[in-house]
Amino acid sequence: MGIFKPDYRFNSILDISLEFLSEKGIKALLLDVDNTLAHHFSQTPIDGLEIWLKNISDAGIKAVILSNARSSRVEPFANKIGVGYTPKAMKPLPIKAWKSCRNMQVKTKNTAIIGDQLFTDMLCGSLAGITTILVTPMHEETGRLFKIKMREIRFGPAGSSDSFFEMGYKHTAQMPEYLEKFGLNAFEYQCGRGVNVKQETAESFGELCREKGIEPSLHAPYYISMASPEEQKRENSINYVLQSARAIDWMGGDRIVVHVGTCGKMERQSAMTLALETLKKALKALDDEGLSHIRVCPEVMGKINQLGSLEETIEFCRLDERLLPCIDFGHLNARTHGWLMEKGSVEKVFEELENGIGISRLREFHSHFSKIEYTTGGEKRHLTFEDTVYGPSFEPIAEMIVKKNCHPTVICESAGTQAEDAQTMMNIYKLLLNKA
């Protein structure tokens, strides 16, 4: 763990004095952004940062931002505080750190990297041979473990279970308190019939979630139709994605689940081509609005005439690294008429995902799970864990999650028992993890 150990630690970047930097021979700084110079995804610098930067500049110390974020996140912030920047830095790889040193015409021994992450910032500095300074993050991001940027596995319901109301709860704002009773740490906010939540309401809900350690995601409107032959419907679909991204951003989450749409009367490949083009435009719209950090999750769909087979979902996700598959195992089982009930099928799903989008995105995939009744056309209706006929079973899925060291968000869509069944899945996973 030596390469992860910082050379120095400070509570805040503002606590790093000119005297300290001079004493250590530091002539240039590589600065992380999120949770170091500003709150996560915020364009507002922490109070006192601009004065601190002016002081080090007056002392002849150079500074640039070195961030893994995209230009749309980094550029406006860098311009605001008056420093250079390198986006998509690929930390912990040291390549861009070395390049920044060359550009500033300073030696690595006279350079320090400042950030809040062991795995990205400190490891990058260690590999580059530069001084590493770890600062305490301004707030712990949901899903962090030991300040190493990785997510923990999360379980929670989609919308409200029957027991939510039976226990006397009435408003979505009470959901975090309710979920805490079940030991759950995820919730998928339902906007299937339209994104009607106001910013103030969303921000308040997000704060309540953070207090209880719950990570929100959001289901975008059901009527998104990215393969529609009507241009206006495709444009509307882009706007629905944008509305959904705004709402989850207000809540402090970063995942939206989308239905891509149906083939209609088009040939399937023609519909796929149109859907891919529309999805690409939706991502551009997110970039233009500074929402490039939002993970869009195309969902595996349950009806055969819908775009969203496992293979099609993988193809969508190949468009851009921010796309994560939403693997709805119940849907997949329904559209394949019980295929997931066969031995080895679940392992095959994980293999196809790993081969298609890589192990890193496999490990953080989004998931829906419920038992689902199906007909020849696929999905008919959602069931509860009481079902013993249609399936699928969660145990083999949990086994593969443990085997592949995955940390997905698993959202339960059982009919009225979402929270209870999510708790059951969580317990199954914990039992298997303890045995591993």
Q: Are 248 and 189 in contact (CB under 8 A)?
A: yes
* Res. 40: pLDDT tops 80: no
**Domain residue spans in the chain?**
2-135, 154-435
* Res. 69: pLDDT tops 90: no
Percent share of the chain, pLDDT over 90: 82
* Res. 255: pLDDT tops 70: yes
| pLDDT, mean over the chain | 92
To 10 degrees, the CA torsion angle through 285, 288, 291, 294?
40
d(CA 428, CA 395): 7
Provide the token pair at 59: 């002392």
Average pLDDT over residues 113-141: 86
Which pLDDT belongs to residue 434?
85
* Res. 41: pLDDT tops 90: no
* Domain 154-435 is found in CATH 1.10.340.30: no
By CB atoms closer than 10 A (0-12, 13-18, 19+), residue 98 is: middle
Which pLDDT belongs to residue 151?
56
pLDDT per position as a tens digit, 130-189: 999 999 876 544 443 333 344 579 999 999 999 999 999 999 999 999 999 999 999 999
Residue 323's nearest CA partner among 353, 368, 351 is 353
Which pLDDT belongs to residue 72?
76
Between 43 and 220, residue with greater pLDDT: 220
Q: Are 128 and 99 in contact (CB under 8 A)?
A: no
Indicate the pTM of the whole model: 0.69
| Helix, coil or strand: residue 305 | coil
CB within 8 Å of 46: residues ≥ 6 apart: 12, 13, 14, 37, 38, 39, 138
Q: What phi, psi does 262 have (nearest 5°)?
A: -115, 170
* Res. 54: pLDDT tops 50: yes
pLDDT per position as a tens digit, 200-215: 999 999 999 988 989 9
Of the listed ranges 52-61, 140-149, 342-351, the least confidently predicted one is: 140-149
Q: Are 286 and 313 in contact (CB under 8 A)?
A: no
51 CB neighbour count, 10 Å cutoff: 9
Which pLDDT belongs to residue 142?
42
* Res. 353: pLDDT tops 70: yes
pLDDT per position as a tens digit, 279-325: 999 999 999 988 888 999 999 999 999 999 999 999 999 999 889 99
Q: Same CATH fold, 154-435 and 2-135?
A: no
pLDDT per position as a tens digit, 365-412: 999 999 999 999 999 999 999 999 999 999 999 999 999 989 999 999
Average pLDDT over residues 331-335: 98
d(CA 247, CA 253): 9
* Res. 49: pLDDT tops 60: yes
CATH class of 2-135: alpha beta
By CB atoms closer than 10 A (0-12, 13-18, 19+), residue 200 is: exposed
Which pLDDT belongs to residue 2?
57
